[in-house]
Amino acid sequence: MPKVPNIRVEPPGPEAKKIVAKDDEYIVKATKTAPLVFKKAEGSVIEDVDGNTYLDFYAGVGVLNVGARHPRVVAAVSDQLGKYMHIAGTDFYEPLQARLAERLAKTAPGNNKKMVFFSNTGAESVEAAIKIAKRGTGKQCFLDFLGAFHGRTTGAMTLTASKWVQREGYTATLMPGVFHVPYAYCYRCIYKMEYPSCGTYCAKVIEEVYFETQIPPNDLAAICMEVVQGEGGYVVPPKTFVKMVFDLTRKYKCLFIDDEVQSGMGRTGKMWAAEHFDIAPDIICSAKSLGGGLPLGATIVDAKLNFDRYGRHSNTFGGVSLAHAAALATLDVIEDEKLLDRGTKVGKETKKRLEEMMEKYDIIGDTRGLGMMLAQEFVQDRKTRKHAAKSRDKIADMAFKKGLMLLPCGKSVIRYIPPLNIPQDQLDSGLEILEDCIKTVNRNRAD
């Protein structure tokens, strides 16, 4: 096995630069992170067009929980290619999507029967949740949380409140009836309190202040939450926060929509992160890793929320058959390779390593996460907790040049989300490179 990572020419190399230039010329600006130009990817290893190899600590932006091109996923997709690629699953029938729906329905927490609406992306799975919640409750308003990210289509973007850049220029034409309140971001408590002496004030205040003044609770179709915030900074709230918010939804007879597009499919050591908090959401939104690398979204809903008639909501690519085949194989891999157990065990060990780094380098303000959904927040000063965004970017850029692919989130956070089956030696090499970069930037800061 050749050494990984192996940087032969400083990236972006000459071939990469050509593609980056063409991309800049013809592709509309979206969300570029680094000038990495893929040639091939396998497992947790990426090869670029200049022959460099990298370790993947970002899992294709949370898509590759079972690694790139897992042989069983590739075999399932190849087999399906020989049969049919697409049937318009919302209009017609095929065995794969029925089997996948049954399996997903049975993974969701709670004894109530679930049903599934298939789509292609996270945002679409959230849009479906919005429409299902409105019709299911006959109500139109939603409560969500500061720092939330649900996607960039209008409904999902309205529920989103993670960065102003996503909303600027659209604010006045977003979906009406959406309210945001602070999330339990304990490291940066907006109320300047400390858990647990705060008594989970951020949950209490929803009923005691917001419901009393601005948000009529009886108008709420749903409270929507990422039970672990992703894009907003990998924020893990206390269990009491999630439980108390969930209880509000029972009290005021609205739904709990749990966006697990990023935290689901085993990332936290459980199939769904909601299982850590002992709640059974009415709706779970899934995408990213669900398709094992192919686009697939699923909105898993309490069967009572099924539409009253055909035509209320539908799509053309309600999960292409190739993606259904890939998703079934992905679920098999998670089960057969015991990736929930591995994620829990390796996640714990990795978190310990990250905590040891935090003891040595005071640029690290916080280390947090569940399972293999891990992150560190970088600060200019541990007392003021001022964000060290530039230093964070410098660490990510330095890691890229050494062959470790990282993905920032929040204002000054880096998430560490390698595939759940990353080989131990690759994980160790990645962590060594990471520590090296943090050590250098800790001494030579950018902000």
| Distance of closest approach, residue 233 Cβ to ligand PLP, in angstroms | 12
Decide if residue 128 touches ligand PLP (CB under 6 A): no
Residue type at 367 in one-letter notation: T
Size of the site for ligand PLP (CB under 6 A): 14
Task: Provide the minimum distance between the beta carbon of 66 and ligand PLP in the complex, in angstroms, as a whole number.
Answer: 17
Query: By CB under 6 A, is residue 261 in contact with ligand PLP?
Result: yes
Q: Which residue is nearest to ligand PLP (CB)?
A: 122
Q: Which of residues 273-292 bind ligand PLP (CB under 6 A)?
A: 287
Answer for which of 122, 182, 233, 347 binds ligand PLP (CB under 6 A) is: 122
- Cβ proximity to ligand PLP: between 53 and 119 the closer is 119
Cα separation, 395 vs 105, in Å, equals 41
| Burial track 378-393 (b if 16+ CB lie within 10 A, e otherwise) | bbbeeeeeebbbebbb
Q: Which of 48, 144, 258, 259 binds ligand PLP (CB under 6 A)?
A: 259
Comparison of 162 and 380: residue with beta carbon closer to ligand PLP: 162
Reported for 156-163, long-range contacts at CB under 8 A and 24+ positions apart, including other chains, are 156/122, 156/123, 156/126, 156/127, 156/130, 159/126, 159/130, 159/224, 162/231, 162/232, 162/410, 163/231
- Residue with smaller CB distance to ligand PLP, 249 or 263: 263
The distance from CA 284 to its chain's CA centroid, rounded to whole angstroms, is: 13
Residue 147 region, left (φ>0) first, then alpha (ψ -120 to 50), else beta? left
Positions 340 through 359 that interact with ligand PLP (CB under 6 A): none
Q: Strand order in 178-181's β-sheet?
A: 114-119, 297-302, 283-286, 255-259, 220-225, 141-145, 178-181
- Residue span 135-154 as binding mask against ligand PLP, x where in contact by CB under 6 A, dash where not: --------------xxx---
How far is 312 from 229, CA to CA, in rounded Å? 30
123 contributes a contact to ligand PLP by CB under 6 A: yes
Angle, in degrees to the nearest 10, between helices 424-443 and 389-402: 130
Binding ligand PLP by CB under 6 A: which of 48, 127, 231, 302? 231
The β-bridge partners of 225 are 258
Instruction: Name every residue whose Cβ is closer than 8 Å to that of residue 112 and which is 6 or more positions away in sequence.
Output: 280, 302, 303, 304
Nearer to ligand PLP by Cβ, of 7 and 279: the residue is 279
Is there a contact between 395 and 437 (Cβ–Cβ < 8 Å)? yes
89 binds ligand PLP per the rule CB under 6 A = no
Stretch that binds ligand PLP, among 105-113, 224-232, 324-332, 429-437 (CB under 6 A): 224-232
Counting contacts by CB under 6 A, is residue 408 touching ligand PLP?
no
Q: Which is nearer to ligand PLP, 123 or 372 (CB)?
A: 123
- 118 near ligand PLP (CB under 6 A): no
Residue 131 burial by Cβ neighbours in a 10 Å radius (0-12, 13-18, 19+): middle
The piece of 21-29, 225-233, 245-253, 423-431 that touches ligand PLP (CB under 6 A) is: 225-233
Binding region for ligand PLP (CB under 6 A) out of 26-34, 137-145, 254-262, 300-308: 254-262
Q: Say how far apart CA 133 and CA 49 lie, in whole Å.
A: 46
- Interface mask toward ligand PLP for 165-204; x: CB under 6 A: ----------------------------------------
Supply the minimum distance, in Å, between the C-beta of residue 265 and ligand PLP.
Answer: 12
Among 316, 327, 322, residue whose Cα is nearest residue 90: 316
CA angle (263 as vertex; 33, 139 as ends), nearest 5: 110
Residue recorded with tokens 């298939």? 118
In whole angstroms, the minimum distance from the beta carbon of 154 to ligand PLP comes to 12
Pairing of strands 220-225, 255-259: parallel
Is there binding between residue 262 and ligand PLP (CB under 6 A)?
yes
CB 273 within 8 A of CB 264: yes
Nearer to ligand PLP, 264 or 418 (CB): 264
Candidates 79-87, 217-225, 257-265, 314-322; binding stretch for ligand PLP (CB under 6 A) = 257-265
Contacts of 412 (CB under 8 A, 6+ apart): 377, 378, 379, 387, 388, 389, 391, 392
Which residues would be at the binding site for ligand PLP (CB under 6 A)?
121-123, 126, 149-151, 226, 230-231, 259, 261-262, 287
